[in-house]
Structure 1
Amino acid sequence: MLRTALRNVFAHKARLLMTMLAVLLGVAFVSGTLVFTSTISDAFHKSSEKGYAHVDVSIRQDNSDAPEGRGSLSPLSQRTLDRAEQLPGAKSATGVVSGFAALSDKKGKLVGDGFSTEGANYYAGRDGKGTDPRYPMKDGAAPRAPGQIALDAKTAERTGYRVGDTVRMSVDGPVRKEKVTGIYTTDDGSVAAGGTLVLFDNATAQRLFAKPGEYTEISLQAKPGVSQAALKAQAAKMLPSGTEAVTGKKLADDESEQIENGMSGMKTSLLAFAGIALFVGIFIIANTFTMLVAQRTKELALLRAVGASRRQVTRSVLIEALVVGTVAGLAGMAAGVGIGAGLRSLIGKMGTMPDGPLVIEPSTVVISLAVGVVITVLAAWLPARRAAKIPPVAAMGSIHAPATTRSLIVRNTIGALLSAAGAVLVLMATRMEDGGKAPMGAGAGLLLIGVFVLTPLLSRPLIAAAAPVLRLFNVSGKLARQNAVRNPRRTAATASALMVGLTLITGLTVIAGGVQQAIDKMASDSLKADYTVSMANFTPLSPEVEKKLARSDEITATSPLRNARAKIDGDTEYLTGVNGSAIAQLTSLDFTKGGWSGISGGKQVVVDTKTAEAKGWKVGSRFQVTYQDGKKAQLSVAGLYKGNEMIKGIMVDNKTVTPHMAKVADMQVLAKTKDGATDQVKKSLEKQLGDNPAVLVQDKKDISEGIAQMINILLNMLYGLLAMAVIVAVLGVINTLAMSVFERGQEIGMLRAIGLDRRGVKRMVRLESLVISLFGGVLGIGLGVFFGWAAGELISSSLETYSLVLPWGRMGIFLALAALVGVLAALWPARRAARLNMLAAIKTE
């Protein structure tokens, strides 16, 4: 039986090619993902180790043990640095201070957008005359005075800046002009990932990112023979209150762990889409082996007649599947390594990851092969079992071929039960405000499987609906319709492969359209302000920006939004400071009770209804607040409003919270102009702010378009990933049609003999392919709309402005895509059918 199975594989290589390709693509996606993520993780891990090569112990603030909101009151001073330098095991001590610093390129655009854009100090010793071993100078000299900076070599290469150039940059809003005095090299992981690191002299960095004489961290390097643990123990004895000592190894490990955690989301997403491709591949494999078994019915019956048992027949088919799965798994693994290497090379050329070798872990090889083999064998098990159950005499007479009425009834019953259970779960999940994701996911899975099981039943009425169109093609159209419904199980398996991909694509598009409209409505309903002003990466903005805008002749009202951490009823909360006298002109909140009146007095707040409900507050309720500096005050509720993702929380006048903030900074500034939002006004405001690339001046349309752009980028990425499932589905249609042409060779020969020309045969196969693909497309789009609606109902509980948006244009494109799949998939099978020798085909048994 083993020799028989192997001979079948080698005798029919062509008929298994499409099946192997389907498995190969899925395995390649899995192995490519694993190779790519392992390579990136390893590269960043090694980069982290290099970045902490000069750090054996770090002394830093420990906000986890400090009172809430009080961490900034435990600074690392020059005195602490001096004491650390005198530790017996310390070779050197370096004061570190860092923060956000946006650099503009020669065209005025932000450098490192989307990555880390930071500034730090060049620590040249207490006298300022030494060197900083962290940043060896490649060209020029280190910054020693205000107005001087040093750039990392990668940023200098990307921007074309050289020593002596003057650059424009920003730390918290106002534009700064600095002279480049040096270019340095670094192993910093953020720089390797495409970010920027601008160095200032020590005093300037302290003034910009902390306070004069203070540091955010102190790095210690151990003397030869002193371990990191020993140096940490020495440092622990002199730590100021609210600080901690951490070894360099732990810092590197923590950074690597953060990188891996950041990578896990991408890895999970890529593997999920690989799973979708493999899930689609299961249909093709099962369909292929069903047809292969049907073609070899007499052969298998003969084996049974000469003594082979049912188990041996099943085993022979599974051995054939094992060989196919192993070959496809090995090929997919090799292709995946190529994909991983290609992605690594592409990312490397973009300068968004550190250098490092391609990493192929043993687990990647094992997982890839296991996936290929297990998926293929499992998909082939049911056809193998079905083949073994056929009695030899019945198989010889081919009376087993049509599916029994009883089997179809059982299948339809199971499908109906699964579909009903899935639909009920999905509908129940839409009513759940919290915890509805798991039931909806389970319901969607059950419904998808149920529809797949029911597809043979659904195929007849849906394909029959195409009969009027098919009649236009005369005999070829009629034959195509009959062929499509002749074997409903085969048609179902083929159409389901396409259905799965289009279900996901349509569902995601429906959700994205609803979210986009919700954001548009939220912006228009919540804001009266013509513009919002913020930093490009949404870091704190200098109060000088709001003051500069307020002095503009074009501005009629402004309000900074200023976040201040505080404690209320033992819980940490954020108070949003606003301009109490102008905020009513800049927002359009839906107040259920009370309003803005009274907030400018400084003793009252307005609160969104959800926060008020959680706290048990009503209009007039009084509560005690403990500010960041430890001082306490009594506030009362002046109004309750319906919050949203754009504006929510506890809002109070700025003059109430600003005196208690360690460093005053705004998250955003709202501005209203005389002439409304126009391109001319926007350009004028940008010019008044120094044409700063780090500052965003946005009107409502800009906010909406920015979010739309993010959604479209995400959607395009998802479309690209789901294209894998569509490609696998195309292979399935080709496979089904090729096998169908092989099975119907005698019938096609007879049609040719009685007058159907080659063009008619081609048209018949193409129309059959088109009907099957459109059938899968209609099911996929229909299910996608349902799932999109259901997910939207779940989203609307947290995003109140969400409403269903049906993207008719895109759905039309998806249906056209399904038709294109059908046309392309039929090219080779149709050509093959037309070229059959009619006499040889008629004589074939």
Structure 2
Amino acid sequence: MIAVIREHASTIVVSALSSLFAVTLTLFTGILTAAIDPAVIEAGGTFRVVLMMVALIFILIALYVGAIVTANTFSTIIAGRTRTIALLRLIGASAARVRARVAGEGLAMGLLGAVLGFGIAEALCAAAVTWGPDAGWLPAGRDYPLFDPLTVVAVAIVALTTWVAAWSGSRRVGRVSPIAATGAAVELPADRAGRRPARTVWAVILLIIGVALLAIGIVLGLMTPLALFIAFMGGLFSFTGIALGAHFVMPPLLRISGRALGNGPSGRLAAANAVRFPERSARSTIGLVIGVTLITMFAVALASYETMTLQAFASDPRLAADFTATLAVTTGVFTGLVGFSGVIAAVGLVNTLSLSVLQRTRELGLLRALGFTGAQVRRMVLAESAQMTLTALVFGLVLGVFYGWTAAQTLLGFQTGLMAPAIPWPIIGGIVVCGIALALIAAAAPARRAIRVSPIAALAAQ
């Protein structure tokens, strides 16, 4: 059991973070409502409904990112269990039964993490209402709720989302043949990964539809703010197409960034590893791309919205000053909320890289046997992490700037006309710094593991 929990540590952490986020937002919505008007809780007022709608948007974003990270994690786990699954198939187990077992693991780990997140959220909210009035954060003498039936629903949704993600991530079980029992971990090479016609066709279709809707939204935004809804659907379709087609979108980008790793043996091997198995590289990077895109999109949208609105308020300096102060607080809150999804995506990158290194024990042992030093292996793992993080950062920043500008343009374009996007450089700089730190953190544990095993033991591993 301990081994299973260790293997699914990322799944537990992601589900715990998702549950913590959902339960905390739900409870703090009730606390904030009680702080403003105690009667609103019992009356079910409009204020609480509006807050819950805003909270629901960010909860769904966190669940979406968490589901992708969990599905990618289980895909990587399945790749490492190829030999075990093949042996089960060899002795008569059906693909459906094996897949159900894997999905059951996802449900159990998701429920464990969701309950853990629920407990932490309750403790945080209890601390807030206990010490908040004394610290001046909350009005004294109010009856602050510490339980909401919706929190139980949130825990159940997190667990079920993890189960669905595990089922989706384990879909390759049906493709594992008994003959694969003679091998070890199996990842689809570049030539086979590229031959995914149904998935590729759907990705291209969604991408084309999304880009068309975005273009229509930008044009109509010069006439009506309702174009925002068209642009929203365009962003949803186009980004889903990118996520679905990550197996052919990310490798060319990784190949370009790989040129920056230098001509040394460690750099060349790291660059080759990143594109040798496109699905593994896509799983490692797409979650981080989503996180960076979301944070950048909200930051650019709010910055562009501020610039456009201040232009409209140019004749009223007092109103412009009030708007700027209000928007500064809103930007901080929204960035923090969306940043939580970025943390979930970062956990996925660290875990996927760790699993991929663990499953390449024989490969790393062969490199050591051929003369690679421990330092060279460490540099290779660090270079792989840097390459994937750099690619995800740049791609996510580009997408985020475009989506954020499109949101602001379609909302206020009818007042200001076409304007260039406003780039919030402090936030962009913070994302880059966090990305660099993430690359180092993601590579630290796998690099230590890679050089700890002796070449002989590594070559004997199955």
Does the TM-score normalized on the shorter chain lie above 0.5?
Answer: yes
Asked if 1:799 is matched to 2:415, the reply is: yes
Q: How does 1:519-598 map to 2 (within 5 A)?
A: 519-524=309-314, 526=315
Q: Distance in 2 between matches of 1:435 and 1:481?
A: 45
CA distance in 1, matches of 2:53, 2:124: 17
Distance across 2 between alignment mates of 1:262 and 1:487: 50
Question: Which residue does 1:25 correspond to in 2?
Answer: 17
Residue type of the partner of 2:114?
G
Q: In 1, distance between residues paired with 2:155 and 2:407? A: 35
2:217 is aligned with 1:429? yes
- Residue in structure 1 matched with residue 199 of structure 2 by the alignment: 411
Q: CA deviation at 1:813?
A: 4.2
Instruction: Tell whether 2:146 aligns with 1:359.
Output: yes
Pick one of 232, 252, 257 that aligns with 1:441.
232
Provide the residue aligned with 1:283 in structure 2: 68
Query: Which structure 2 residues correspond to residues 198-597 of structure 1 after superposition, within 5 A?
Result: 257=43, 260-345=45-130, 347-348=132-133, 349-353=135-139, 354-365=141-152, 367-397=153-183, 401-402=187-188, 404=192, 407-432=195-220, 433-471=224-262, 474-524=264-314, 526=315
Give CA deviations for 1:35-72 in whole Å, capped at 9, x if unaligned.
23334556777x44xxxxxxxxxxxxxxxxxxxxxxxx
How many angstroms does 1:435 deviate by? 2.9
- In 1, the alpha carbon distance for the partners of 2:457 and 2:256 equals 36
Contact 1:31–1:368, Cα closer than 8 Å, also in 2:
yes
CA distance in 2, matches of 1:465, 1:705: 45
Distance 2:186 2:379 in 1: 31
Q: Aligned partners of 1:713, 1:735: CA distance in 2, in Å?
A: 34
Superposition pairs of residues 644-659 of structure 1, within 5 angstroms: none
Separation in structure 1 between the aligned mates of residue 257 and residue 187 of structure 2, nearest angstrom: 27
8 Å CA contact 1:522, 1:801 repeated in 2: no
Indicate the structure with greater helix content. Answer: 2
Query: What is the deviation of 1:803?
Result: 2.4
Match of 1:515, as an amino acid?
Y
Structure-2 separation of matches of 1:280 and 1:491: 17
Letter paired with 1:743: Q
Q: What residue in structure 2 maps to residue 736 of structure 1?
A: 352
Q: 2:107·2:163 contact (CA, 8 Å) conserved in 1? A: yes
- Give the structure 2 partner of residue 533 of structure 1: none
Cα distance in 1, alignment partners of residues 310 and 217 from structure 2: 26
Measure how far apart 1:802 and its partner are: 7.1
1:792 and 1:802 in contact (8 A); partners too? no
Retained in 2: the 8 A contact 1:796–1:803?
A: no
Query: What does residue 333 of structure 2 align with?
Result: 717
State the match for 1:198 in structure 2: none
For the pair 1:838 / 2:455, whether they are aligned, the reply is yes
Match of 2:439 in 1: 822
Does the 8 Å CA contact 1:282/1:376 hold for their aligned counterparts? Answer: yes
Q: 2:156 corresponds to which letter in structure 1?
A: A
C-alpha deviation, 1:20, in angstroms: 0.8
Cα distance in structure 2, aligned partners of 1:393 and 1:839: 26
What per-residue deviation string (whole Å, max 9, x for no partner) do you get for residues 75-114 of structure 1?
xxxxxxxxxxxxxxxxxxxxxxxxxxxxxxxxxxxxxxxx
Is the 1:293–1:387 contact (alpha carbons within 8 Å) kept by the matching residues of 2? yes
Equivalent position of 2:378 in the other structure: 762
The whole-number CA distance in structure 1 between the counterparts of 2:172 and 2:358 is 21
Q: Output the amino acid matched with 1:390.
A: V
Q: Distance in 2 between matches of 1:405 and 1:720?
A: 37
CA distance in 1, matches of 2:257, 2:87: 42
- Cα distance, 1:322–1:405 mapped onto 2, change above 3 Å: closer
Contact 1:313 1:384 in 2 (8 A): no
**Inter-partner Cα distance in structure 1 for 2:132 and 2:54:** 18
Post-superposition offset of 1:451: 0.9
Task: Name the CA shift for 1:791/1:363 in 2 (closer, same or farther; >3 Å).
Answer: closer
Is the CA contact (8 Å cut-off) linking 1:281 and 1:728 kept in structure 2? yes
Deviation, 1:304, is 1.8
More strand by share: 1
- Decide whether the 8 Å contact of 1:304 with 1:392 is kept in 2: yes
Deviations 1:171-220 (A, max 9, x none): xxxxxxxxxxxxxxxxxxxxxxxxxxxxxxxxxxxxxxxxxxxxxxxxxx
- Structure 2 residue identity aligned to 1:272: I
- For the residues of structure 2 that align with 1:384 and 1:522, how far apart are their CA atoms? 52
Amino acid in the other structure paired with 1:733: L
Q: Distance in 2 between matches of 1:43 and 1:521?
A: 35
Tell me the TM-score normalised to structure 1 length: 0.51
Unmatched runs of 5 consecutive residues or more in structure 1: 1-8, 49-252, 527-645, 647-699
* Aligned residues with identical type, % of pairs: 26
Q: CA deviation at 1:22?
A: 0.8
Task: Give CA-to-partner distance per residue, 1:623-647, whole Å, 9 cap, x none.
Answer: xxxxxxxxxxxxxxxxxxxxxxx6x
Does the CA contact (< 8 Å) of 1:300 and 1:313 recur in 2?
yes
Give CA-to-partner distance per residue, 1:764-795, whole Å, 9 cap, x none: 11111111112111221111122123223212
Return the alpha-carbon distance in structure 1 between the equivalents of residues 33 and 332 of structure 2: 25
* Closer, same or farther: CA 362–785 of 1 in aligned 2, 3 Å: closer
Contact 1:35 1:359 in 2 (8 A): yes
Say if 1:509 and 1:715, in contact at 8 Å, map to a contact too: yes
Letter in 2 for 1:497: G
Shift of 1:516: 2.8
Give the gaps of 5 or more residues in structure 2: none
**Normalised by the size of structure 2, how large is the TM-score?**
0.89
| Whole-angstrom CA distance in 2 between matches of 1:335 and 1:808 | 33
Contact 1:427 1:790 in 2 (8 A): no
Structure-2 change in CA distance of 1:727 and 1:359 (3 Å): same
